[in-house]
Amino acid sequence: MGRRSNGEGTIYRRADGRWEARLQAGGVRKTVYGHTRQEAARKLEALQRQARRAGQLPDAHGRTVRDLLDAWLDTMAPTLKPATMADYAKVTRLYLAALADVRLDRLTPDRIQRHYASLQAKGLKRAPSKAHALLHRACELGVRWGWLGHNPTDRVVAPRYRPERKDVWTPAELAVFVAMASGHVLYPLWLLGIVTGCRPGELRALTWDDVDLDAGTIAVTKTLARIGGEWVVTTPKTRAGVRTVTLPPEGVQALAKQRKLQARWKRGPAWQGWRADLVFTRSNGQPLHGGKVAKALHSECDRLGLPHLTPHQLRHLHASLLLVEGLPVPAVAARLGHASPNVTMAVYAHMMGDDAAAADAVARALGGAM
């Protein structure tokens, strides 16, 4: 039997032939096993490094992944917007449930990797990357608290999500929409999305106090979402999201049309109103559901024979119009409410390059030099 001295742990051979190593630090004792003495020694050294780094041995006290995720969500809740919190809870519930009962001391990289693979096998494209991002952050907290000796997600191949590039309408298709959809009750909302590039939640949160028809501007200061059956108004995603957007004449006309329509609704018996004087509402004054707005746009595209766009893709359409016209990226970023022009570049890089034009520019330069 071999032993470690000076309180650094012990290694000995068990009756079943395996090697067992023990280390005690900070009142916590950990035991690891190996098929050979060398394997047990390596595991013991890893425990010693953890104890030196953290000042104690990791001890989850039997806690599971569910315990860690719940603790992480509780810790993050005061700093998160309700919509973000709801999204994290959804990811936990839908995409990490299979790991929920796994003890933290048994949460190994290979187990995590197999879980990601199972999500991918189900055809879930974005779910694996979202699950990984959340689990990684939760495990970081577990390391800080001494529940984990290391972050097991650091040693997995992180799932990648590459969103499919979706085309927006051509100028001819946009002209068809503007000419043929104007009679739809939601047309002013859709048109404002096209001419401002605002996020759907920002448009649905607009109040008449945010609108200055004389100046031709709207103030974007909030967003509206349905969370847990309740309407929640919060600030935009970033500080850059709080902005004043100048309207083209078509945007002013759309809002004037909406004001007249809503004035007629207010005179009717069905009008209930809401706690805020929203610009875009149902006929009873209640907020619009984002899903129903998207479904209505889908149906209108079918009626007009146009490619399907979502309300959020109207924002992309707006950005593409600006970039094709050569508007500087910083100006586009400011109008969209992006945190920085780098975000705009990352999202819309494919819209900025005209490779044929670049080749012509090089040819002209070479022609002048030769």
Number of other CB atoms surrounding residue 294 within 10 Å:
17
Which of residues 345 and 292 earns the better pLDDT score? 292
Residue 297 and residue 169: Cα distance in Å, rounded? 14
Which residue, 265, 254, 280, 284, is CA-closest to 182?
A: 254
Residue 174 and residue 306: Cα distance in Å, rounded? 9
The pLDDT of 255-283, averaged and rounded, is 95
3-state SS, the chain, equals CCCCCCCCCEEEECCCCCEEEEEEECCEEEEEEECCHHHHHHHHHHHHHHHHHHCCCCCCCCCEHHHHHHHHHHHHHHHCCHHHHHHHHHHHHHHCHHHCCCEHHHCCHHHHHHHHHHHHHCCCCCHHHHHHHHHHHHHHHHHHCCCCCCCHHHHCCCCCCCCCCCCCCCHHHHHHHHHHCCCCCCHHHHHHHHHHCCCHHHHHCCEHHHEECCCCEEEECCEEEEECCEEEEECCCCHHHCEEEECCHHHHHHHHHHHHHHHHHHCCCCCCCCCCCECCECCCCCECCHHHHHHHHHHHHHHHCCCCCCHHHHHHHHHHHHHHCCCCHHHHHHHHCCCCHHHHHHHHHHHHCCHHHHHHHHHHHHHHHC
pLDDT digits (tens, 9 = 90+) for 312-337: 999 999 999 998 888 899 999 999 99
Q: Is the pLDDT of residue 120 over 90?
A: yes
Least confident of 8-17, 158-167, 174-183, 299-308: 158-167
Task: List phi, psi (to 5°) of 155.
Answer: -110, 25
Q: Given pLDDT bands bounded at 50, 70 and 90, which one contains residue 348?
A: confident
- What per-residue confidence (pLDDT) applies to 237? 77
Residue 28 and residue 107: Cα distance in Å, rounded? 19
**Type of residue numbered 304:** L
Report percent pLDDT > 70 for the chain.
87
- Length of the chain as a residue count: 370
pLDDT digits (tens, 9 = 90+) for 38-85: 888 888 887 777 666 666 666 667 889 999 999 999 999 998 888 889
Number of other CB atoms surrounding residue 260 within 10 Å:
9
- What per-residue confidence (pLDDT) applies to 363? 63
Give the residue extent of every domain in the chain: 10-54, 65-155, 171-352
Contact call for residues 313 and 347 (beta carbons, < 8 A) = no
- CA 349-291-343 angle, to 5 degrees, is 20
- CA 268-273-276 angle, to 5 degrees, is 145
Which of residues 134 and 348 earns the better pLDDT score? 134
- What per-residue confidence (pLDDT) applies to 12? 85
**CA 174, chain centre distance (Å):** 28
- pTM (2 decimals)? 0.73
Number of other CB atoms surrounding residue 10 within 10 Å:
17
- What per-residue confidence (pLDDT) applies to 29? 73
Q: Given pLDDT bands bounded at 50, 70 and 90, which one contains residue 350?
A: low
Residue 253 structure tokens: 């006309």
Which residue, 364, 336, 322, is CA-closest to 242?
A: 336
The pLDDT of 4-19, averaged and rounded, is 74
Residue 97 structure tokens: 């449930």
Q: Under CATH, which number does the domain 65-155 receive?
A: 1.10.150.130
Least confident of 39-43, 77-81, 139-143, 179-183: 39-43
Map tokens 């030099």 to a residue.
369
Average confidence score pLDDT of the chain = 88
Q: How far apart are the first and last CA of the chain?
A: 84
**CA 184, chain centre distance (Å):** 31
Q: Given pLDDT bands bounded at 50, 70 and 90, which one contains residue 3?
A: very low
- What per-residue confidence (pLDDT) applies to 336? 93
The pLDDT of 234-255, averaged and rounded, is 92
- CA 322-326-327 angle, to 5 degrees, is 60
CATH label, 171-352, candidates 3.40.250.10, 3.60.15.10, 3.40.50.620, 1.10.443.10? 1.10.443.10
Map tokens 């694996």 to a residue.
128
Q: Name residues whose C-beta falls within 8 Å of residue 54's C-beta, 6 or more positions apart in sequence.
A: 143, 146, 149
